[in-house]
Each structure stands twice: as C-alpha cells, then as structure tokens.
Amino acid sequence: MVNSKGERNRQFPSKISTTSFVKLYILHLLKEKNYYGNEIIEEIKSRLSNKWEPSPGMVYPLLRELEEEGYVTGWWEEPDKRSIRRYRLTDSGYKHYQVILLQYKASFEDSLSIVQNVLTDIYGMKF
C-alpha cells in the first residue's frame, strides 16, 4: 500500500498503533457513560467478542495521560480508600475524540479492506 506521499506503508494491516486504538476506544466509551479502569478493560473485551483486551499497564497510564491533558476528569468513589477512580469525558475530550475519530477512519477502512481481500483471496470468503 502506498500512502498519499507516495511512501510505501510496511505496517500490516493497520496504520493505527495499539495505544492510539485503545485511547480512541477509552474516549468512545467515556462518551457514553462514566467508567473506572477495570470496567473499561472489560467493556472493550466484551465489545470485541472476548478476542482481545487491553492490559491494565496500557489503560491506566492512558487514563492518567488523558486526565493530565484535560480530556477526562477523574474522581475517587471513596476518597478515603482511593480504590476505585471513575472517569468522565470533558467537553475538551469530546472535541479531541471527534478529531481523532475522523483521523483514524481511513486507516480502519484500509485495514478492513486488506483483511477482507485476504480472506477472499486465500480462503474464498465473500463479503
């Protein structure tokens, strides 16, 4: 595949890093309702039919980063215990989500096309 600059893309099949994908999905989920870290992991796992889940080592640093950037707000359910930190999307976070959603759309479409072509070519599956 050649990108718009005429450079060959050697990353297969997606041009979106796992970290960027998880960040997008976190913002997507928080657009719907408030979550805490483990809920986010379980929700992503569930929505991906239990085929993949992000690690806590990826999700929690991303939540801290998103909070530092002002895209999410976090609070402790029980401030004295500090055991469950819930998050919600801010207005700035929603605007950021809309921007990256548009940025990644073509990459998702390219990835889908590649996988569909491979499945059709190699396995004879039609879509």
89 has pLDDT over 90: yes
Report the predicted TM-score, pTM, of the whole model to 2 decimal places.
0.85
Structure confidence at residue 91 (pLDDT):
98
For 13-39, what is each residue's pLDDT tens digit? 667 899 999 999 999 999 999 999 999
Phi, psi for residue 12 in degrees, rounded to 5: -125, 140
Structure confidence at residue 111 (pLDDT):
87
CA distance 74 to 88: 7
Structure confidence at residue 9 (pLDDT):
64
